[in-house]
């Protein structure tokens, strides 16, 4: 039954990707990237509710009162595809740091490029990091929040929280804005690169805002909070 439910969801999900991508591409000349992100957010919320209805995979969020009405560095652990979708709906407008290969995907990548992402070249990390920092600074000045997965890659749920890179602390300290951390355990149910979506209830905790002028100390404070929260979920 899980196979059939996952098959139906995947058909609806992947068949809707070209549709929403074309809408964004056609709308781009007429509306801003900020409004395009809201259009994408409506599609994402629809997808997540389809996942809940078809596959029985729900989510429960704690700490929504911590979401501010100003730009933040949005930081989350990374386990799979679910949070890549969900996090786009948390705060608007938002610019995500993504691997640049995603922009090459027909339709989807073209639409993604219109929503002010920050692409990173993982083959030349040092040079790319400088470029990412500069682009992220520009997005923040334009009143965008910036989404970062500081672990740098997807981590299996049984490995907990991996070490963080310092980019989130650097951006927060340099721009004098807080970090908003989000911890979840989505990988228990929608495993990375796995076809089957298992029924269950994803736990999501939105933490308090973290501020500081020391990038390394700030990053470590956020990582320790996330590590403690993740242990509570598992």
Q: What gap in Å lies between CA 44 and CA 16, rounded to an integer? A: 10
- Rounded to an integer, the average pLDDT of 7-11 is 97
Joined tokens for residue 226 = 């996330």
Q: Kindly list the distances between the CA atom of residue 11 and the CA atoms of 27, 50, 138, in Å, as whole numbers in the listed order.
A: 25, 11, 38
- Rounded to an integer, the average pLDDT of 190-197 is 92
Least confidently predicted of 17-31, 119-133, 163-177, 216-230: 119-133
What confidence score (pLDDT) does residue 61 get? Answer: 98
- Rounded to an integer, the average pLDDT of 20-45 is 93
Please say whether the beta carbons of 107 and 23 come within 8 A.
no
In 10-91 the beta strands, taken as DSSP E runs, fall at: 57-62, 73-76
- Residues 6+ away with beta carbon under 8 Å from 224: none
What confidence score (pLDDT) does residue 33 get? Answer: 85
Please say whether the beta carbons of 167 and 132 come within 8 A.
yes
In 113-178 the beta strands, taken as DSSP E runs, fall at: 118-120, 145-148
| Residue % of the chain over a pLDDT of 70 | 98
Instruction: Give all strands of the β-sheet with 73-76 in edge-to-edge order.
Output: 57-62, 200-206, 179-184, 73-76, 145-148, 94-99, 118-120
Query: Confidence class of residue 122 from pLDDT cuts 50, 70 and 90?
Result: confident
Mean pLDDT of the chain: 94
Query: What are 72-99's pLDDT values in tens digits?
Result: 999 999 999 999 999 999 999 999 998 8
- Rounded to an integer, the average pLDDT of 157-163 is 96
Q: Which among 192, 188, 216, 191 is positioned nearest to 204, based on CA atoms?
A: 188
85 three-state secondary structure: helix
Query: What are 34-69's pLDDT values in tens digits?
Result: 899 899 999 999 999 999 999 999 999 999 999 999
Query: Confidence class of residue 125 from pLDDT cuts 50, 70 and 90?
Result: low
Sorted by where each starts, the structural domains of the chain and their CATH numbers stand as 2-233 (3.40.1130)
Least confidently predicted of 22-36, 121-135, 210-224: 121-135
- Residues 6+ away with beta carbon under 8 Å from 44: 85, 86, 88, 89
- Rounded to an integer, the average pLDDT of 113-125 is 84
What confidence score (pLDDT) does residue 127 get? Answer: 59
Query: What are 167-188's pLDDT values in tens digits?
Result: 999 999 999 999 999 999 999 9
Q: Which among 72, 116, 114 is positioned nearest to 90, based on CA atoms?
A: 72
C-alpha 206: how far from its chain's center? 13
Q: Kindly list the distances between the CA atom of residue 38 and the CA atoms of 41, 87, 92, 219, in Å, as whole numbers in the listed order.
A: 5, 12, 7, 29
Is residue 193 predicted with pLDDT exceeding 90? no
């Amino acid at each position: 039954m899980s196979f059939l439910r996952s098959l139906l969801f995947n058909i609806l999900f992947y068949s809707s990707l070209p549709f929403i991508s074309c809408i964004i591409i056609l709308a781009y000349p007429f509306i801003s990237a900020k409004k395009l992100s809201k259009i994408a957010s409506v599609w994402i919320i629809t997808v997540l509710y389809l996942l809940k209805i078809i596959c029985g995979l729900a989510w429960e969020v704690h700490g929504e009162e911590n979401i501010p009405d100003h730009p933040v560095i949005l930081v989350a652990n990374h386990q799979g595809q679910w949070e890549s979708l969900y996090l786009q709906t948390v705060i608007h407008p938002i610019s995500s740091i993504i691997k640049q290969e995603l922009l090459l995907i027909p339709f989807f990548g073209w639409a993604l490029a219109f929503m002010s992402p920050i692409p990173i070249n993982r083959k030349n990390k040092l040079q790319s990091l400088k470029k990412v920092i500069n682009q992220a600074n520009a997005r923040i000045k334009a009143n965008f929040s910036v989404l970062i997965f500081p672990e740098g890659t997807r981590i299996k749920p049984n490995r907990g929280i991996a070490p963080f890179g310092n980019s989130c602390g650097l951006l927060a300290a340099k721009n004098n804005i807080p970090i908003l951390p989000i911890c979840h355990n989505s990988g228990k149910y929608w495993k990375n690169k796995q076809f089957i979506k298992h029924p269950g209830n994803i736990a999501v905790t939105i933490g308090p805002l973290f501020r500081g002028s020391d990038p390394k100390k700030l990053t470590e404070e956020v990582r320790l909070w996330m590590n403690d929260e993740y242990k509570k979920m598992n």
